[in-house]
Chains A and B, each alone.
Chain A
Amino acid sequence: MADVNRGNRPLSPHLQVYRLPIPAVASIMTRITGHALVAGIVLLVWWLVAAVSSPQAFAAADWIVRSWLGFIILTGSAWALWFHALSGIRHLFYDAGMGLEIENAKRNSWIIIIGSVALTLLSLIIFFIG
Chain B
Amino acid sequence: MRYITPRKAATGLGSSRSGTAHHWHLTVSSYAMVILTPLFLIAVGQAIGLPQEGVVAHFGRPVPGIITALFVIVGMIHFIKGTRIMLDDYVHGEANKLAVIAATIFGWAVIAAAVFALAKMAFTIIAI
Do A and B assemble together?
yes
Interface residues of A (CB under 8 A from B): 31, 34-35, 37-38, 41-42, 44-49, 51-52, 55, 58, 62, 65-66, 74, 78, 81-82, 85, 88-89, 91-92, 95, 123, 126-127, 130
Given that A34-B82, A38-B79 are known contacts, is A48 also in contact with B34, CB under 8 Å in the complex?
Answer: no
- Chain B 21-51 interface 0/1 with A at a Cβ cutoff of 8 Å (1 = within): 0000001001101100100011011101100
B121 near A127 with CB under 8 A, answer: no
CA distance A52 to B117 in the complex (A): 6
**A100 CB to closest chain B CB, in angstroms?**
17
Q: Given that A42-B110, A92-B27, A92-B30 are known contacts, is A81 also in contact with B116, CB under 8 Å in the complex?
A: no
CA distance A81 to B34 in the complex (A): 10
Of B34, B48, B56, which contacts A85 at CB under 8 A?
B34
Q: Tell me whether A49 and B113 are in contact (CB under 8 A).
A: yes
Residues of B that sit less than 8 Å from A by CB? 27, 30-31, 33-34, 37, 41-42, 44-46, 48-49, 52, 55-56, 59, 68, 72, 75-76, 79, 82-83, 86, 110, 113-114, 116-118, 120-121, 124
Interface pair A51/B121, CB less than 8 Å apart: yes
Distance to closest chain A CB from B115 (angstroms): 10
- B117 in complex: contacting residue of A45, A55, A82, CB < 8 Å: A45
Judge whether B48 and A66 touch: CB under 8 Å.
yes
Which residue of B is nearest A91, CB measured?
B30
CA separation between A130 and B37, bound complex, in Å? 18
Chain A residues whose CB sits within 8 angstroms of the CB of B49 once the complex forms: 66
